[in-house]
Amino acid sequence: AAASGEQPAQREATIVGAGLAGALMATLLAQRGWKVEVYESRGDPRIHGFAGGRSINLALAERGLHALRAADADRDVLAQAVMMRGRMVHPADGGTPQLQRYGRDDSEVIWSVSRGELNITLIDAAEAAGATLHFDRRLEAVDFAAQRAFYRGGGGLHRVGFQTLIGCDGAGSTLRAQMRQRADLGERIDWLGHGYKELEIPPAADGGFRIEPNALHIWPRGRYMCIALPNDERTFTVTLFMAMQDEGKGDPSFETVPDATAARALFERDFPDALPLIPELDHDFEANPIGTLGTLYLDRWHLGGHAVLIGDAAHAMVPFHGQGMNCAFEDCVALARHLDATPDLATAYAAFEAERMPDAAAIQKMALDNYIEMRDLVDDPGFLLQRELELALQARHPTRFIPHYAMVTFMRIPYSLALERSEVQRGILEAATQGVASVAEVDLEAVDREVLRSLPPLADIP
């Protein structure tokens, strides 16, 4: 076409879902000159506000920020974000909470962002880049052979043609269900058996934050926990995580704590310093739903060039590493890169899947492992000793020994590589801290030899 002087045809995509991944994907493709149509089942949040009207927040880290930079949305998002320097761990006896920094200094932090505000910023960015958004349009069915999709909304069923569908419709994806009717996707879901309930800490009487704002608060209690993330309107969103059903180990569960009275008793016993911060505990506990948690695995994310799944639709995970959105945003950047590299959609989708599937599996595993760390280990002396040694080894070998949390949160190396190196590092830390009470007792020279032997410098890794 270029030789004959014709313009190449404009590339077209239909995106299902204008949530976090959908709105960012729309922005990235529209910026590249694609014709982008987006169908979202909910109403326009800029008009209707967010469903439920509750403040719900997420931890944004370097992978997500990098994707937002690519869409030129990072400044707007950070302007509304609250910095979190580390974990503020609240002991069971109600004693003074302690801050455990995530990184070495304030260049290594994460950000608490409002899901609603972030989504609106990205929807605005998608429209500004030239994408067309259709709200109140729920994907119901797809005729892949005829390349037509059916959307319900506005009192009717709408039949619309498509070139290709990009599924950003979240963990309960309808597009995935439609693809499954055409091909075996190898879908399986591992339910965690634990769920969550959101509660709120309102601002103090003087309008400020009631507790330290620049931290992610954790009340670890062994097999269950509470966490709290700050919102820029001076509130905190508290999330209580515990088993759905009684596990017979004497721990609370949503079965044994079914109502506000039982929840109040649980807080009096296990979260005494949090209870006075949550004046509407009874209301929040009764009114807010119990969220369920699981990990979604697929063997296939695309159907030739007809459709591809990204974000939670492809690989929903438990939220304990704060990486689901960050990973979904990284997917958007990777998919745009593969689409840039070839005009053939099936080739681009296959290359995207080959690159990202091992990484999604790695962060899914690390997210499951992190539940144990958050609820049980963060106040454990052995864990704290390993954490101290980790920082000492990072100072001695800055390109080789990078703490697990830093590789996932502050770097953009593939998740699969972060997992592989974390496993080697964990082995080194466990061996070195066997039977010792402080870092001073560790044989650092022997550990150095092991680091040099088993961890190549990260800069040398392609």
- Rule CB under 6 A: which residues touch ligand FAD? 16-22, 39-42, 58-59, 138-139, 168-170, 174, 196, 239, 291, 311-313, 319, 322-326, 328
Closer residue to ligand FAD (CB): 168 or 447: 168
CB of 175 to ligand FAD, least distance (A): 7
Q: In whole angstroms, how close is the CB of 452 to ligand FAD at the nearest point?
A: 34
Task: Dig out the tokens for 294 from the structure.
Answer: 């699981």
Nearer to ligand FAD, 115 or 400 (CB): 115
Q: How far apart are the first and last CA of the chain?
A: 36
Least distance from C-beta 354 to ligand FAD, angstroms? 20
Smallest gap from Cβ 332 to ligand FAD, in A, equals 9
Q: In whole angstroms, how close is the CB of 329 to ligand FAD at the nearest point? A: 8
Q: Name beta bridge partners: 194.
A: 243
To which residue do tokens 């729920």 refer?
138
Of 44 and 376, the one with the shorter C-beta distance to ligand FAD is: 44
DSSP code for 253: B
Q: Is 270 helix (H, G, I), strand (E, B) or coil?
A: helix
Q: How far is the CB of 436 from ligand FAD (least distance, A)?
A: 34
Q: Kindly tell me the sign of the dihedral angle through the C-alpha atoms of 190, 195, 178, 27.
A: negative
State which residue, 124 or 388, has the beta carbon closest to ligand FAD.
Answer: 124
Whether the CB-CB separation of 36 and 134 falls below 8 Å is answered with no
Beta bridge partners of 141: 150
Question: What b/e readout covers 121-130, taking b as 16+ CB neighbours within 10 angstroms?
Answer: bbbebbbebe
**Which is nearer to ligand FAD, 288 or 347 (by Cβ)?**
288
Report the residue number, 271 or 401, with the smaller CB distance to ligand FAD.
271
Our CB check for ligand FAD shows the closer of 185 and 451 to be 185
Query: Closer CB to ligand FAD, residue 123 or residue 447?
Result: 123
How far, in Å, are 67, 104, 272, 382 from residue 222 at the CA level? 35, 27, 16, 15
* CB of 238 or CB of 263, closer to ligand FAD: 238
Q: Which of 433, 309, 326, 324 is nearest to 368 (CA)?
A: 324
CB of 313 to ligand FAD, least distance (A): 6
Q: How far is the CB of 425 from ligand FAD (least distance, A)?
A: 23
Name the residue with the smallest CB distance to ligand FAD.
Answer: 19
Q: CB of 218: closest distance to ligand FAD in angstroms?
A: 13
**C-beta closer to ligand FAD: residue 59 or 429:** 59
Residue 70's nearest CA partner among 314, 340, 322, 316 is: 340
Amino acid at 327: C
Nearer residue to ligand FAD within complex by CB, 41 or 416 = 41
To ligand FAD, the closest distance from the beta carbon of 352 in angstroms equals 15
In DSSP terms, 114 is beta-bridged to 57
Quick one: which of 59, 25, 324 has its CA closest to 164? 25
For the CA atoms of 239, 243, 245, 248, the dihedral, rounded to the nearest 10 degrees, stands at -140
Structure token digits, residue 168: 């950003």
Q: Rounded distance, CA 399 to CA 79, Å?
A: 32
315 and 348 in contact (C-beta within 8 Å)? no
Comparing CA positions, the residue from 459, 333, 362, 360 lying closest to residue 420 is 362
The 3-state DSSP class for residue 9 equals coil
Residue nearer to ligand FAD on the CB measure, 17 or 414 = 17
CB of 391 to ligand FAD, least distance (A): 24
Closest approach, Cβ 153 to ligand FAD, in A, equals: 9
Residue pair 148/162 in contact (Cβ under 8 Å)? The answer is yes
**At residue 455, what is the residue type?**
L
Cα–Cα distances (Å) from 29 to 143, 147, 276, 293, 429, in that order, read 24, 20, 48, 31, 44
CA 129-131-137 angle, 5° bins: 150
